Structure 1
Amino acid sequence: MLTGKQKRFLRSQAHHLTPIFQVGKGGVNENMLKQIQEALEVRELIKVSILQNNLDDKNEVAQQLAEGTGAELVQLIGHTVVLYKESAEQKTIELP
C-alpha cells in the first residue's frame, strides 16, 4: 500500500507520460491485463486511458485494472488511470 507522500511523488512522475493503453467498448479483458502487466514490469508507472465509448463506471474499470495486474492505483483523473507496480528486475523509480 502506498502512502500519500509516495502517491504524490508518483503523480508528479506520471504527469509527463502519455497513455499507452486504451480501454474501449469491450472493457477490461485478460489479454489487455497481460499486456499491461508486461508494460508495468518494464516501465513501473503507466497511464491507461478510458475511452468515451466505454459504458462501465470509470472507478470500476480502474479497480479492475489495478486488481487484475496486481498494481497500485495511483490516480484516476478524468478518464485517465495511473498505475504503479514495482519491477522485479528493472527497478528505476525510487519511492520516497
Structure 2
Amino acid sequence: MTVEWLWLGVGFLGQALFSARFLVQWLASERARRSIVPRAFWFFSLAGGVTLLAYALYRRDPVFIAGQGAGLFIYARNLMLIRREVQLRRARQ
C-alpha cells in the first residue's frame, strides 16, 4: 500500500464522518418532529473536519485547508457552548 492510497483512505474517511453529521441531524429531527441539531452533529463535524484538514494539508490545497480550518473553530465553539449550557442546567437543579 502506497502513501498515496493511505491518504486517499484518510480523505474518504473524513468525508464519510463529515457527511454522517447530516444523517444524524436528519434522524434526530425526524424523531423529534422538528428541526434540531444534536450534539453528535458537532462531534461528527469536528472529527470529519480534522480528518479532512489532515488530508487537505497532505494535498497542500490552500482553499481546502482554509475551509476546513475555519470550520473547526465553529464546531469546537458550538461544543463548548453546549457543554456550558449543560453545566448551567445541572447547577440549577
TM-score category by the smaller chain? under 0.3
* Greater RCO (Cα-Cα under 8 Å, separation 6 or more): 1
In terms of fraction of residues, the more helix-rich structure is 2
Could you state the TM-score of these two structures normalised by the residue count of structure 2?
A: 0.27
- Structure 1 or 2, whichever has the larger Rg, is 2
More strand by share: 1
